[in-house]
């Protein structure tokens, strides 16, 4: 049972006792449950609840999200795909200098330019050039 202030706790305890809703519960148990230091009881419960909520919110930031970079699309007939061999080229709907789409699920969240990382690894990165409207933090 939660309430806003210690005096509310006492009022609830009194209401339970007078209405008979606390049948089977000793008065001492009710008094012990609702006796609190007025300077700490409710504020400690609120602080604990706020801390737990804050921890839950922070935990969500550790959840990994798959980000997909789309460089283009093609719609070749199935027969063409079946007949493809090594070194075949699939022609995409974009040019080499067009921006790539950065997606989470099926939603485009940003656009950017492909770049080779400067660490000598030969890996690709994407420099974001546009954040799509409606994306949080934009």
The answer to whether the CB of 46 falls within 8 A of the CB of 6 is no
CA–CA gap between residue 54 and residue 50 (Å, rounded): 6
The H or E element containing residue 111 is strand 107-116
37 and 55 in a common domain: yes
Lowest average pLDDT, out of 24-28, 56-60, 89-93, goes to 24-28
80 and 52 in a common domain: no
What DSSP assignment string belongs to 75-91? ---HHHHHT--TT--PP
- Three-state DSSP state, 110: strand
Q: Which has more confidence, 106 or 5?
A: 106
What DSSP assignment string belongs to 26-52? -HHHHHHHH---TTTHHHHHHHHHHHH
Most confident of 37-41, 79-83, 130-134: 79-83
Sheet holding 124-131, edge to edge: 68-70, 100-104, 107-116, 124-131
Is the model's pTM score more than 0.85?
no
Number of domains in the chain: 2
pLDDT average, residue stretch 87-101 = 95
Parent domain of 48: 6-60
CATH of the domain at 120: 2.30.330.10
**Boundary residue ending a domain (60, 80, 98):** 60
Answer yes or no: is 35 within a domain.
yes
The answer to whether the CB of 78 falls within 8 A of the CB of 40 is no
Answer yes or no: is 29 within a domain.
yes
Q: Which has more confidence, 41 or 78?
A: 78
Q: What is the pLDDT of residues 31-47, one digit of tens each?
A: 444 455 555 567 777 77
Answer yes or no: is 120 within a domain.
yes
Angle at which helices 6-19 and 27-34 cross, to 10°: 160
The phi, psi pair for 112, rounded to 5°, reads -165, -175
121 and 77 in a common domain: yes
91 and 123 in a common domain: yes
């Amino acid at each position: 049972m939660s309430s806003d202030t210690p005096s509310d706790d006492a009022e609830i305890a009194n209401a339970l006792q007078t209405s008979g809703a606390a049948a089977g519960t000793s008065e001492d148990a009710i008094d012990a449950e609702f006796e609190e230091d007025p300077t700490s009881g409710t504020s400690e419960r609120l602080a604990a609840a706020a801390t737990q909520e804050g921890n839950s919110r922070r935990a969500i930031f550790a959840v990994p999200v798959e980000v997909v970079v789309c460089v283009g699309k093609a719609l070749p007939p199935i027969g063409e795909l079946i007949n493809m061999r090594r070194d075949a080229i699939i022609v995409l709907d974009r040019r080499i200098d067009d921006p790539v789409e950065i997606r989470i699920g099926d939603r485009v969240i940003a656009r950017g330019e492909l770049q080779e990382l400067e660490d000598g690894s030969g890996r690709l990165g994407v420099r974001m050039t546009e954040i799509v409207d409606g994306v949080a933090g934009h």
